[in-house]
Structure 1
Amino acid sequence: MKLKIYQIDAFADKVFSGNPAAVCPLEYWLSDDILQNIARENNMAATAFYVKQRNYYEIRWFTPTVELNLCGHGTLAAAYVLFNYENHNKNSIEFNSFKSGSLIATKIEELIVLNFPAINVKEIEMSEQIISGFDIKPKFAYKSESEYLLVFANEEEIKRVRPVFETISQLEGRGVIITAVGNEVDFVSRFFAPQININEDLATGSIHTLLIPYWAKYLGKNSLTAKQLSSRKGHFYCKYLNESVEIGGQGKLYLEGNIFLS
């Protein structure tokens, strides 16, 4: 069996930036074991698989070790492949995730804009476990169902903070987002997820479902720009729509090829 594979740098303004994701178009769903093995072999933060249905595309995302409930950069990468290489001739795509429902991707000039459900966070106590996870103390701590959101004083602290991964890995949930007001953009962030074997993710679309509502309310504006301050940097164009958020970014093709399965 021969499968197509693409490697896309998502939320990237050039190759070697943003977050790389593999994309595998499928004619039908393969077994979970095969999908997981492909993702493990790819050894990237996410491999996106999709199957075309009549009016939409079913989509799933895998890390090298687990299946994800939602993956922003994997969705953007899949949309980029469809818009540019797999003959999708409309300006919007409806994806349907078995775990996250309907997800819409729209092409607006060079940007691909994802519409995802907005997620609100609740303020929590600044526990000793949270404080000991970093060498700089956050100002505020919040929690969604899956992630911690820690607010720091400024962009410089986000850049130079040192996470203690052993401590962070013991926090319940998918990972920890740290964030602050940006110097040249509205807000900056980093994301640490040793719980799912990703010490620091490079450019994470899904965390912006929390970040956009928080910063829109804090800054009093619904259109925002953002940067993820990983080693490769991720660039985001954001909009708060109350019940949902728009997360925009570019994709860049790095690799196109084939997978051979015996």
Structure 2
Amino acid sequence: MQRIDFYMIDAFSNTTFGGNAAAVCPLTEWLPDETLLKMSKQHNQSETAFFVANDNGFELRWFTSLAEINLCGHATLAAAHVIFEHLDYQDTTIYFDTRFVGPLTVTRNGEWLTLDFPAWETKPVMPPSLLLETLGITECKEVRVARDYLVVMENQQQVEAVRPNINAMIPMGKMVCITAPGDREYDFVSRFFCPGEAVAEDPVTGSAHSMLIPYWAEKLNKTQMLAHQGFDRGGDLRCQLVGDRVYIGGQATTYLIGKVLLR
């Protein structure tokens, strides 16, 4: 029987039951992809992060309940939290090697962890009729696309009011992010919908900010911003655009520590 450490972390939150939960499993060596996917299905979280130590730091991979994905911010933050808080890691910067987006770093400054991620350019697109229909809206300011759809709305109240038909989004084949300027202490706000995934609405999506930060940096003419994502639960993100990279800052809280037993 193989025993694997298991952590559940509330990423982008300094309290339990906030932010976005992710499962994290440190490994001594890579298991078969089929096993990693089965573990992720069993965990039934939006993402499970797996990592293995290497000469540079750690190799990191992310799995949903359906497949391996190319980038996940909250699970990266959760993995870094585990390394810093539970594995007695002494440096202030963790170096991750990833299969799809190359090297990533996470730096600790007090209770805040900062992700160094690639910036994603979005391009304007004519919205499929199904997109607005499933969001339950008739108009928006604009629609853009990178890895996911980006739907820009007039104000924070409109973002909060959206009640989407998640299952009806599945034929579009993309995740959907809606966003607007913040009307209080935040520069911008967002929500992120995941048709076909175990979690229908992702509470806080680090990777979505790879496209949100460049977009709002241009619109607001500023490179440092404070953002909020979420509806029922969510979290705050310290955002910065630096050339072709984005810095995404957040906090994290350990919810559960256990063992996975593979027979």
Which TM-score band applies after superposition, normalised by the shorter structure?
A: over 0.9
2:173 & 2:206 partners in 1: Cα distance? 21
**Partners of 2:59 and 2:98 within 8 A in 1:** yes
- Runs of 4+ with >4 A deviation: none
- How far apart are residue 124 of structure 1 and its match? 1.2
Cα deviations across residues 210-245 of structure 1 (Å, max 9, x unaligned)? Answer: 000000110001000011123111210000112000
**Partners of 1:213 and 1:242 within 8 A in 2:** no
Counterpart of 2:181 in structure 1 is 181
**Partners of 2:44 and 2:198 within 8 A in 1:** no
Counterparts of 1:52-71 in structure 2, within 5 Å, are 52-71=53-72
Cα deviations across residues 43-64 of structure 1 (Å, max 9, x unaligned)? Answer: 1011100000012200111111
**Partners of 2:49 and 2:60 within 8 A in 1:** yes
**SS of residue paired to 1:236:** strand
**Partners of 1:13 and 1:235 within 8 A in 2:** no
Counterparts of 1:1-262 in structure 2, within 5 Å, are 1-136=2-137, 137-144=139-146, 146-173=147-174, 175-183=175-183, 184-262=185-263
Amino acid at match of 1:115: D
Amino acid at match of 2:145: K
How many equivalent pairs are there? 260
Gaps of 5+ in 2: none
1:195 & 1:7 partners in 2: Cα distance? 22
1:130 & 1:41 partners in 2: Cα distance? 31
**SS of residue paired to 1:258:** strand
- How far apart are residue 88 of structure 1 and its match? 1.3
1:77 & 1:165 partners in 2: Cα distance? 26
Amino acid at match of 1:53: N
1:125 & 1:38 partners in 2: Cα distance? 39
2:44 & 2:200 partners in 1: Cα distance? 14
**Partners of 1:116 and 1:209 within 8 A in 2:** yes
**Partners of 1:186 and 1:226 within 8 A in 2:** yes
Amino acid at match of 2:143: A
Amino acid at match of 2:182: G
**SS of residue paired to 1:73:** helix
**SS of residue paired to 1:194:** coil
Name the stretch that deviates more: 121-130 or 66-75.
Answer: 121-130
**Partners of 1:177 and 1:189 within 8 A in 2:** yes
**SS of residue paired to 1:132:** helix
Cα deviations across residues 118-145 of structure 1 (Å, max 9, x unaligned)? Answer: 001011123422221222222211011x
Amino acid at match of 1:50: F
1:23 & 1:128 partners in 2: Cα distance? 38
**SS of residue paired to 2:121:** coil
**SS of residue paired to 2:215:** helix
**SS of residue paired to 1:133:** helix
